[in-house]
Amino acid sequence: MLKTVETQLSKTFLSKEEMASVFRRALKAKNLISREDTAVLFYDLDFLSERILNLKSLFPKTTFHAIAVKANPLVRILEYIKTLDVGLEVASLPELYLAQKAGFPSEKIAFDSPAKTREELEYALKAGVWLNADSFAELDRIGEILEKTQSKSRIGVRLNPQVGMGNIKITSVSDAFSKFGIPMNEHRRKIKEYFFKYEWLKGVHVHVGSQGCPVYLLLEGIKKAFDFVNEINEAFESRSLEKRIEVFDIGGGLPVSYDVSFKPVLMDEYHNLLREKMPALFSDDFQMITEFGRYIHANTGWAASRVEYVKREKDYNIIMTHLGADMLLRVCYNPDDWHHQFSVVDKDGNLKKGEDKFSYSIAGPLCFAGDILARDIELPYVEEGDFIIIHDIGAYTLSMWSRYNSRQIPKIIGYHGSEVDFEILKKRESEQDLIDFWT
């Protein structure tokens, strides 16, 4: 059921008290969590709608908000997002199928990807989704298909504004070298020519990077591409042509905080900066697209993972638990860049506060040494049967699930703020599902 919520954000994070209280209720709920649920994921659906409604309330009504499916592809979540009357950004044909399965019509789907095949392009053009080409070669393929096929798709091209790298190398895509988009510095003339060559090419797409890209860098990249768009539009005008670039896609990338002591830039602020730097982008001359993922989802999800053992040694203590690099790949492989916060609840879901703190490392269940979620962090006394609550796992965690060691994907539960009702968004994977996967 969709609740009416304020478009203002009521909070930036879910507090540990809130998560513990929901978990307590979930443990008590009938037939919800059983012994086999060694870990469970939770999503606060009210918090998710708050983020989306807040986004919608800030940008012009005509803006097409395409929420990035890769951040959280659960169909039940996509269906929920659909009730909020926004669209989806998909980065592969299977993601497009997921969007369709969740009931999104073509005009509510934007398709990005640097490796679309001819068949995928044909499918997308026939369906009439928004399409962002990633290269000149892809534009030419689209051109060939459109000679033979009718399409309602609106088509743009992704530019790499080459404004440099953010703080996290592997999620930065606007350095001089990037596998995405057409590098602007080298190809200004040819990009212009393509806009003259293809009548149907009416949009520009730019996505500077995800997490680790500071807001000034996002703004710089968007502004550089937007100035170029205005330059091309002036060239059309000076030749008395009707055509203009009318769609501008700013991508996603607004970073979130994974630590309550660091205040993130909120969407209100980001929107104000965009408007201040590029007022014309907010005029009726442009149809804007946004593609936020992490900002929408990250802080709305959390996980509870049961403590199976605690290894207590003279110099260290290790908590052995049930989620590791299978769900938090980034944290294990790139611990310098990625961190989550953790809380501890007892077997009944009561938050452990304890004045005394102990040093622990938190290990996952996988068979490799790097399967460590945190090293030497301070927690209250932890014992077998407790649960570790992993904060802020709403984006790019479940979607990056690794099949290494074939652990089952846990049960996923949705809830609405403080209401009693829980909804199983996805059942725990069964042994048979697992066997089927590898068969």
Enumerate binding residues for ligand LLP (CB under 6 A).
68, 71, 89, 112, 171, 207, 210-211, 251-254, 291-295, 330, 396, 400
Looking at beta carbons, which residue is closest to ligand LLP? 252
- 326 vs 386 by CB, closer to ligand LLP: 326
- 204 vs 307 by CB, closer to ligand LLP: 204
For tokens 């890769």, what's the residue? 70
Q: How far is the CB of 358 from ligand LLP (least distance, A)?
A: 30
Q: How far is the CB of 195 from ligand LLP (least distance, A)?
A: 20
Q: How far is the CB of 291 from ligand LLP (least distance, A)?
A: 4
- 293 vs 414 by CB, closer to ligand LLP: 293
Cα Rg, the chain, nearest whole Å: 23
For tokens 């005029």, what's the residue? 283
CA distance 264 to 257: 5
Q: How far is the CB of 435 from ligand LLP (least distance, A)?
A: 28
- 59 vs 396 by CB, closer to ligand LLP: 396
Q: How far is the CB of 132 from ligand LLP (least distance, A)?
A: 8
Q: Is 170 within 8 Å of 400 (Cβ atoms)?
A: no
- 121 vs 351 by CB, closer to ligand LLP: 121
DSSP bridge pairs for 287? 247
DSSP bridge pairs for 329? none
Here the tokens at position 58 are 């800030």
Q: How far is the CB of 198 from ligand LLP (least distance, A)?
A: 21
- 13 vs 387 by CB, closer to ligand LLP: 13
- 268 vs 346 by CB, closer to ligand LLP: 268
Here the tokens at position 177 are 């070298």
What residues contact 396, with CB distance under 8 A and at least 6 apart? 70, 71, 293, 294, 298, 330
**Alpha-carbon torsion, ordered 419, 424, 426, 427, to 10 deg:** 140
CA distance 61 to 63: 6
- 38 vs 132 by CB, closer to ligand LLP: 132
Q: How far is the CB of 51 from ligand LLP (least distance, A)?
A: 11
DSSP bridge pairs for 301? 43
Instruction: State whether the Cα torsion 341-344-348-354 is positive or negative.
Output: negative
- 42 vs 292 by CB, closer to ligand LLP: 292
Q: Is 39 within 8 Å of 304 (Cβ atoms)?
A: yes
Cα-Cα end-to-end distance for the chain:
38
Q: How far is the CB of 428 from ligand LLP (least distance, A)?
A: 24
Give exposure, 214-230, as e/b (b: 16+ Cβ within 10 Å): ebebbbbbbbbbbebbe
Q: How far is the CB of 15 from ligand LLP (least distance, A)?
A: 23
Here the tokens at position 104 are 């999104």
Closest to 308 (Cα-Cα) out of 330, 324, 329, 325: 324
